[in-house]
Structure 1
Amino acid sequence: MNDVEGRIEALEVRLTYQDQVVEDLNQTVIAQWKLIDGLKRQLNELLDRVQEVEDNAGGPSASEPPPPHY
């Protein structure tokens, strides 16, 4: 009976550690998703700013043919 109790105790200890590892991994995933969401927002803001600069630029449009010396 003593061997069975030792094995059960060992399994309980392993389960406790596994529960902690799963919780740690979950927290890591949550933190990464928050970071990814923030980076997506920054990227979208930058894309909007680039588009705004391109729209306001007074340079030649892309539809103009190149000069004859090309």
Structure 2
Amino acid sequence: MSQDTASRLTDLEIRLAHHEQTMEEMSEVMAWQQDEITRLQLVVRRLVDRLQSAESAGERSPQDDRPPPHY
């Protein structure tokens, strides 16, 4: 194997190692992001449920929209 070929092969191996490391890091970040998305979806679902139960628990009457007497 010539010196040029060996040098090119070494460069390719170095690049491959960097790409593999980058892919592992990206995979970890994507896994974290998916966990965070799942957690946030759960929080939103809980908030929607609480809002719906609060809205249905207290039916508003037209009196509720009138300004208080001190206006």
TM-score (norm 1): 0.82
Between the aligned partners of 1:40 and 1:4, the Cα distance in structure 2 is 53
Any stretches of 5+ residues in structure 2 without a counterpart?
63-71
Between the aligned partners of 1:7 and 1:47, the Cα distance in structure 2 is 58
Q: Deviations along 1:18-70, whole A, 9 cap, x unmatched?
A: 00001111111111110000000000000000000011013238xxxxxxxxx
Percent identity of the aligned residues?
26
Between the aligned partners of 2:59 and 2:52, the Cα distance in structure 1 is 13
Between the aligned partners of 2:20 and 2:60, the Cα distance in structure 1 is 61
Q: What's the counterpart of residue 66 of structure 1?
A: none
Q: What's the counterpart of residue 45 of structure 1?
A: 46
Q: Secondary structure at the match of 2:43?
A: helix
Q: What's the counterpart of residue 65 of structure 2?
A: none
Considering only aligned residues, what root-mean-square deviation do their CA atoms show, in Å?
1.2
Work out the number of aligned pairs and report it: 61
Q: Secondary structure at the match of 2:61?
A: coil
Runs of 4+ in 1 over 3 A off after TM superposition: none
Q: What's the counterpart of residue 30 of structure 1?
A: 31
Any stretches of 5+ residues in structure 1 without a counterpart?
62-70
